[in-house]
Amino acid sequence: ATPLRIGSQVLNSRLILGSGKYDSFELMRDSIEASATDCVTLAVRREKLNDSSARNILDFLPYQELTLLPNTAGCYDAVTAVRCAKLGRAILEGLDNPGQSWVKLEVLGNSRTLLPDPFELLKATETLVADGFDVLCYSNDDPVVARRLKDAGAAAVMPAGSPIGSGLGIANENNQRIILAELKRGDPDYPVILDAGVGTASDAVIAMELGFDAVLLNSAVAKAKNPIKMSAAMRLAVNAGRLAFEAGRMPTSAYGSASSPELGVISDRKLQDS
């Protein structure tokens, strides 16, 4: 498969995994391994690093082999999100990880829905772009907002399929189709990534079939009954969806359509002939 370029980064896998919500660091580590991803996103905080047993997430992340994608989860305004992004950069510089140049920008509008606030998001995007970040914007599924974020210099727009952690998949395929058409018009390589809402493997396939460049997910794996197996499913799902998108699906019709009489037929002449 073609590698995916996002700003200054290049990814081989089109599946980006979150690192939260797992029952344990071990489960996170094994799920990430099963996904074959080369990019994992982490929330940046000033304090937290260890779990309740004082263990460090970095001991469970093969971060030398991964591009870490710092995110600003939990920020509700542009100022806080910008500060958080810079902290992430500082941390990743300390780790010598290539992820220091980019950020998954989340600026939430509401703690109940965890949906993004387009107003603060646009402000933060402008500030971080000016500061040299590759900004990956977690956005709603509004084509106008998506356009504004791209125009503001976002390295990628990442519309939510449905609320974070809802598992509802892509709630509005029509909007996502419009976003993809609008952002890729005359710029087919501009990365558009589905971020949030994926609940199971078919959701990821549908996203890739629509033409998304990648899928970012967390709960679908972390909250599956068997996260490691679901992670393996997601690895195949993203590849299946990409291949199907590239292959170009058959047209649909309300009624059936019979097989040609020419092919796919075995007859008794074989016996008679031989």
Closest distance of CB 46 from a copy of itself, Å:
6
Subset of residues 36 to 65 that bind a copy of itself, contact rule: CB under 8 A:
42-52, 56-58
What is the Cα–Cα distance from 23 to 9, expressed in whole angstroms? 30
Report helix, strand or coil for 100.
helix
Subset of residues 147 to 176 that bind a copy of itself, contact rule: CB under 8 A:
147-148, 162-168, 171-175
Half-sphere exposure of 122 (CA within 13 A, CB side): 12
Closest distance of CB 217 from a copy of itself, Å:
10
> Cα 24 from chain centroid?
22
Q: Which of 68, 180, 194, 215 binds a copy of itself (CB under 8 A)?
A: 68
Q: Which residues are annotated as catalytic? A: 104
**b/e per residue 70-83 (b: at least 16 CB within 10 A):** bbbbebeebeebbe
Closest distance of CB 67 from a copy of itself, Å:
13
Q: Binding of a copy of itself at residue 201 (CB under 8 A)? A: yes
Number of residues located near a copy of itself, criterion CB under 8 A: 121
Does an H or E element contain 67, and which? strand 67-71
Closest distance of CB 183 from a copy of itself, Å:
12
Q: Which of 4, 206, 215, 216 binds a copy of itself (CB under 8 A)?
A: 206
Give me 200's structure tokens: 């199971």
Residue type, 122: L
Give me 123's structure tokens: 């402000």
Q: Binding of a copy of itself at residue 90 (CB under 8 A)? A: yes
Subset of residues 237 to 256 that bind a copy of itself, contact rule: CB under 8 A:
237, 239-241, 243-244, 246-256
Residue closer to a copy of itself (CB basis): 165 or 191: 165
Pairing of strands 15-18, 156-159: unpaired
Residue 217, phi then psi, degrees to nearest 5? -145, 160
Closest distance of CB 155 from a copy of itself, Å:
20
Q: What angle do CA 129, 134, 139 make, to 5 degrees?
A: 85
Q: Which of 80, 76, 203, 88 lies closest to 134 in space, CA to CA? A: 88
Which of the ranges 5-13, 22-30, 127-135, 187-195 carries the binding residues for a copy of itself, by CB under 8 A? 22-30
